[in-house]
Each structure stands twice: as structure tokens, then as C-alpha cells.
Amino acid sequence: MDKDYKQVWDNCLRFFKDNIKASEYRTWFESIEPVKLNGKVLTIQVPSHFYYEYLEEVYIDLMSKALQAELGPGAGLEYIVVMENPMPHSQPRIAKMPSNNKKDIYNNPVMPNDDHTNIKNPFIIPGIQKLQIDPKLNNRNTFNRLVEGEFNRLARSAGYAIATNPGRTSFNPLFIYGGSGLGKTHLAQAIGIETKERFQDKVVLYVTGHEFETQFVDATMNNNRNDFMHFYQMIDLLIIDDIHEFAGKEKTQNCFFEIFNHLHQMGKQLIITSDKAPADLQGIEERLLSRFKWGLSAELTNPDYESRKAILKQYAYNEGIDISDDIIDYVAAHITNNIRELEGALISLLAHSTLNRETITIELARQIIDKLVKNTTRELSVGYIQKVVCEFFNLNPEAITSKTRKREIVQARQIAMYFAKGMTKLSLATIGAQIGGKDHATVLHACKTVNNLIDTDRQFKGYIDEIEKKLKI
């Protein structure tokens, strides 16, 4: 009686479970499907070309032993790779590859050549071990260097709990939000570093929202989207910094939605940072926002006076700076915006003292801090710009984000877009998403309209000058 191909593969799987780590088994063998058995040749379906190459590089001896035990001498293996076709309404592309043969045999005449189907992975190449994936973490961003205070206690405590038991707490995902310079990146990376120290076999990866989006675009253009997806689905702890960069980018959001679901269902940990709470993010799909709320959303606020003093003392200690308590007190009292500016003030003091061979005194601190406070340009938010514009024209702030086409509302909306483009580092798509859910082309048109009116309408130019003064106060 001929053997059933499913039974053959099930027996092989039991052999694999007994001979490799559970994490390796889950990553590389759970998603494989047996297709058919032709004589002594078993055909299996794998989800990407990368799977094929990795299995051939790393596990071929193990698979050969299992197959020979089941089918006897002369047992063979053939792969079917089903790769996603990026063209809408198109069927998946199928490639057949025999085992132990690196020259691909394509049965589909419309298949692109080998150069286009190989994985173009953003961090690893086929055959590299999972443990060798660079987590992209700054080893200075540890928990030891992260001062705890009221401003970050909830997020820091949750982060440490995650690092001791990643993917197994109720804080999945952990969504960390707050303004610029409050320590979101430091905390997120501290979780990654602590996790790697405790669980060396865990695959940890830190990536910014912008980097993820760029990699996704490259993968799509090179027909490697499926491989891109599988790379990210390998990660045990994934950190996405500045998720608000996804605003208005529908395809990137769809891709991350699939990755998020896979990782969450597999019990993997996700850490996400943003400048706003999930409820306040604009330009992000509702289904993604709902998933961000599954775990814990923790806000980082401006540190209070005592926390600022503790941060300065910790930084001075880490950098070997000898500085008195009265100088620490002065800096903490006058630099109140965020942690980054506090550390920048100490760096300026140290540099000035070293270059000019001066002792760090309270008088030197006054001179440096006065200049910093005077010359520091506040980082404006789109929300603040909208508020100032609406107050100037005596409009309800909600009107500017509504769909009304009233002339005065449209003009105020265009002015807000104009200042947001000039006074923030946000992309046109992000600005549009935050001002009425518009696209980048609308923002570009608004800026051109405002510039034309400035050149041709003296009264309008006066409005712009007055609003600009208010924004710069």
C-alpha cells in the first residue's frame, strides 16, 4: 500500500521537533504544506524563495535523514514556491525547485528571472542564522541609563515587565506615546536590549516607521514583498519607532497590519512609539488603531523639576562630568521642555568649559542657558498651528478639519497647511492626513495658492505676517 503524503510529512515533522529548537521549528516548518508524493519524491509548498534557499542551506541534511527513514534510499524532495503577485486580480506565481539544485526550474513562462525572485532582505541574506540578525539597537540606551519618574513610570515599569517575559504579558502591544525628546526611543530600545540579554535566542529588531516604509516600497518595486513579509514575521520582538510616519500610506499600513496580526497570534512582542495616543492619530486606518489599543498605551510627559534634576545627575555621572548641585538646579529650573534639551544643555556647558578652559560655574551656566532658552525654536505641532490660525480668523478649531467648502474655512485650512509645511518636518501626506484627511496633492496645491496670494494680495500677506508672528512667540 502506497504511503500517504500527509502522513509522511507528519512523521518528518515529529523527527524535526525532536532534533531542533522549538523556536526554529515554529519559524521554519509550521507554515510548510505537503502537496503530493510521487514515488519516493515528496513535494512540499513553502511560502517564499527565501524559505527554499534557507531550508536548503541549513536543514537539508536533517530533512534528508527524515525522508530516507520514511521512504528509504533514493528519497527525494521537491519544493513548490507560491509567491504573491503584486498586480491586482492576478494569480500567485508558482515556481518548482528540486532539492540540492540551486538552479531554479520555472514551469511558468511568465515568471521573471532569478534576479527578481531572490530575497532582497533589508537586514539579512539567505542562509544567515537568525541569531546573527542585527537588532539595530544603541547599546547606550539601557534601563540603567533611564531615570524613572512620574513622567515615565507606567511605561518604564511595563517595558521592564515585557523584557522579562516578552510576548507573554498583557502589554502586547506596548504603545508608547509623547512629544519629541521625552525618551520614547530610549525606552523602546532599552526593552530590546534587556530582552536580548535575558533571552539570547530571541530575535529583536528596532526599525523606524520611515525605514520600514522605505523597505516596503523597495520590496514592492523589486517583486520581493512576500519575502519582506516573511522576514518581519521571523521577529520575536519588533520595535516600530514613530508609527505616525505611516499616516496616509495605505499600502504600508496594509502590509504592517498583516505582520502585526501574524506576530501577535504567534505570541511575539510588539513595541510601538508615536507622538500621539492611538485615539489622536490621523491618517491611520481604524483597524490598525484598534489593534494598537489591544495592549497598553502609556504616555511619556514632560519631566517634573525633581525628575529633571535626576536626569541631569544621571547624565553627568554617565559622561564623567563634575558638576555641582547648584548648577544642576539652575539647568533643571530653566530647561523644561524635554530630556533631549536637558542633555544638550550639559553638553554645551562641557564643550564651552573645555574649549575655553573655564571652570563650570553658575555664572557660566547662566550665560549658556540664557542663550539656549532664547535661541531655542519651539517644535510646532500641526494641532498648534491649526489652533493659532483658527483663533486669528475667529473660527471653531473643528471647522478646519471638517469637509465644508465655505470660502473662509477653505482659506484657513490652506494657510494651516502652508505653515505646517514650512514649520514642521512632516511629509505632505502626513500634514494632509492631520488637516481634514487630505492627500499630499491637496497640501501642495494649498501651499501654491497661499504663495500666489502673498504675491498678489497685500491684505492677505498681512494676515500671513501676523499669524507667523503669533506662531513664533
Query: What confidence category does residue 448 fall into, taking pLDDT thresholds of 50, 70 and 90?
Result: very high
For 321-356, write each residue's pLDDT tens digit: 778 888 888 888 778 778 888 888 888 887 777 667
Sorted by where each begins, the domain ranges of the chain are 5-116, 143-300, 305-375, 382-472
pLDDT for residue 123 is more than 50 = no
Grid look-up 541631569 returns: 312
Residue 469's pLDDT is 83
Mean pLDDT of 228-254: 92
What is the CATH T-level fold of the domain 5-116, as seen in this structure?
GMP Synthetase; Chain A, domain 3 (3.30.300)
Q: Which of 135-139, 188-192, 423-427, 466-470 has the lowest mean pLDDT?
A: 423-427
Kindly report the CATH number that applies to the domain delimited by 143-300: 3.40.50.300
pLDDT at position 343: 82
Residue labelled with grid coordinates 521573471: 112
Fold of the domain built from segment(s) 305-375:
Helicase, Ruva Protein; domain 3 (1.10.8)
Contacts 24+ apart (CB under 8 A), 25-31: 26/266, 27/130, 27/234, 28/54, 28/55, 28/59
Q: Give which of 104, 99, 149 is closest to 339, Cα–Cα.
A: 149
| Spatial separation of the C-alpha atoms in residues 192 and 160, rounded to whole Å | 10
Q: What is the pLDDT of residue 120?
A: 35
Determine the pLDDT at residue 184.
95
Ranking 23-27, 281-285, 378-382, 394-398 by mean pLDDT, the lowest is: 378-382
CB 466 within 8 A of CB 473: no
For 62, 162, 242, 277, 295, the CA distances from 198, given in Å and listed in that order, are 29, 11, 26, 30, 22
Mean pLDDT of the chain: 81
Check: CATH 1.10.1750.10 for 382-472? yes
Which helix (DSSP H) or strand (DSSP E) does residue 434 occupy? helix 428-434
